[in-house]
């Protein structure tokens, strides 16, 4: 018996040894991390404290990175950590600080349109699931080829089929950073005028 046949026999025996009622440790960890990630995502969009929302977003994105690790997609996991947790969330926090967002509860953060927002979110989720299922319904993954989360496969797909969305996201993040800086400069100028006004009044009274 060759090594390939032995490997196939071992994989078949492992597949038969456990099923839906006897999951492996990796499958249990995947479900638990998924529940934590889902809870963090729900808190992110329901909390009225902007800073807490950004921090819970870190937990949600970190949970996704752990899920990628459990799926043996190490490259995608580290990209998730470096780009989303290390860059996007930091950019959001800088935007909150530069625009002087309130640290505590923000009553004006809730517009009162939660039913409409929930309906839109469910419709978007249903559309996304339908698109993904329809796109990958007939896709066959070559288990003997390169890993789907490897650097070569990811780079080839990203810069061959997703160049325009990748660049559009870069421009969007740059626009958000520039907007935060502009808003902070306006607030600083307003504060300077407010500070100078009492001093001018005191000099005039003299």
pLDDT tens per residue, range 2-48: 555 555 555 555 555 555 567 788 888 999 999 999 999 999 888 87
> Average pLDDT, stretch 130-143?
76
Task: Output the pLDDT for position 54.
Answer: 83
Task: Output the pLDDT for position 1.
Answer: 45
Predicted structure pTM score: 0.58
Helix residue ranges, H only, the chain: 3-17, 25-46, 50-70, 74-79, 89-98, 114-135, 151-161, 163-205
Within 8 A by CB and 6+ apart from 85, the residues are 58, 61, 62, 65
pLDDT tens per residue, range 43-75: 988 887 777 888 898 899 999 999 988 888 888
Helix residue ranges, H only, 71-150: 74-79, 89-98, 114-135
């Amino acid at each position: 018996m060759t090594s390939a046949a032995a490997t196939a026999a071992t994989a078949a025996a492992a597949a038969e040894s456990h099923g839906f009622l006897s999951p492996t440790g990796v499958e249990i960890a995947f479900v638990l991390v998924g529940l934590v990630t889902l809870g963090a995502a729900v808190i992110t969009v329901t909390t009225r404290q902007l800073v807490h929302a950004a921090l819970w977003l870190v937990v949600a994105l970190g949970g996704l990175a752990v899920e990628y690790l459990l799926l043996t997609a190490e490259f995608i996991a580290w990209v998730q950590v470096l780009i989303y947790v290390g860059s996007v969330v930091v950019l959001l926090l800088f935007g909150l600080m530069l625009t002087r967002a309130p640290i505590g509860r923000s009553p004006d953060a809730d517009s009162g349109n939660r039913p409409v927002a929930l309906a839109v979110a469910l419709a978007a989720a249903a559309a996304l699931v339908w698109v993904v299922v329809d796109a990958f319904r007939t896709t066959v993954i070559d288990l003997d080829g390169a890993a789907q989360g490897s650097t070569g496969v990811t780079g080839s797909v990203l810069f061959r089929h997703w160049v325009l969305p990748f660049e559009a996201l870069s421009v969007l993040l740059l626009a958000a950073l520039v907007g935060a800086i502009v808003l902070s400069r306006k607030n600083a100028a307003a504060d300077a005028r407010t500070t100078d006004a009492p001093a001018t009044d005191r000099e005039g009274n003299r």
